[in-house]
Amino acid sequence: MANDATKTLATDKALRIVDAMRSSVSRRGVAGSTFDHVAREAGVSRGLLHYYFGSKERLLVEVAKRDSEVRLEAMSGELARAANAEDLGMLWVRSLYATVRHEPAFVSLLLELYTLAQRMPEIADELSAMTQAMTDAFAQRLQTLVDDGRITIGAAPEVVADVVIGFGHGLALRFMSNPEADMEPVVEAAKRAVGALVRNGPKA
């Protein structure tokens, strides 16, 4: 093998293991994701998890990496579709709302990772990098829309991005812990608040 990274990333089975672990953690939590279960779901032997990753910790770091990619990609997809101020608010909050409602495991996984990050600096770094990447992607999209005259923003793009993403996640948390509440008016009010920072431009 060339080195650990190559070995880990190249192999088909290693990928299957990471995916199985990711899925297991989102359903069963970290504690419930034993090598036994994960190996069975990945269709490999227990020993192989150890062979590739050495320890549960390192496997979890890979999971965090992988998950960050997935999340970033998901957000980028939403962003690309936003063409004016309304779209931005709508798409972002709506997609988070839909995620919380229809893919709670996706939310669970992130919670699990944040919790882990409290005791594992490597995972904290991974999440921090993801946060930064999300901000950058969002800010870049904002800048593009500003340049096209489709929106105007009330602060630096990175700042606006930070605020909007943060707001979104906070509301998502809220949706999660109040599953049966009617969030329609809340979403509406939140959009109005964000409207103080992002308005339609001349060409919107």
> Which does residue 106 touch among its own copies, DNA, none (CB within 5 to 8 A, set by kind)?
none
Residue 52 β-bridge partners = none
Per CB under 7 A, 33 contacts DNA: yes
Residue from 91, 127, 139, 145 touching its own copies (CB under 8 A): that is: 127
Q: How far is the CB of 32 from DNA (least distance, A)?
A: 7
Q: Which residue of 19, 27, 29, 46 would you call a contact of DNA, by CB under 7 A?
A: 46
Q: Single out the segment in contact with DNA by CB under 7 A; choices: 41-49, 81-89, 145-153, 195-203.
A: 41-49
Query: In the block, which residue shows the tokens 């944040």?
Result: 114
Show the binding pattern over residues 69-108: x = contacts its own copies (CB under 8 A), - = does not. -----------------------------------x---x
| Alpha helix (H) residue ranges in 82-156 | 85-102, 104-117, 121-147
Q: Nearest distance from residue 1's CB to DNA, in Å?
A: 4
User: For residue 115, what is the enclosing H or E element?
Assistant: helix 104-117
Which tokens go with 184?
């329609």
CA of residue 98 relative to chain centroid, distance: 14
**Rounded Cα–Cα distance for residues 52 and 47 (Å):** 9
CA distances from 71 to 57, 65, 134, 182 (A): 21, 10, 9, 26
- Chain contacts with DNA (rule: CB under 7 A): 1, 7, 11, 13, 32-36, 44-48, 50-51, 54-57
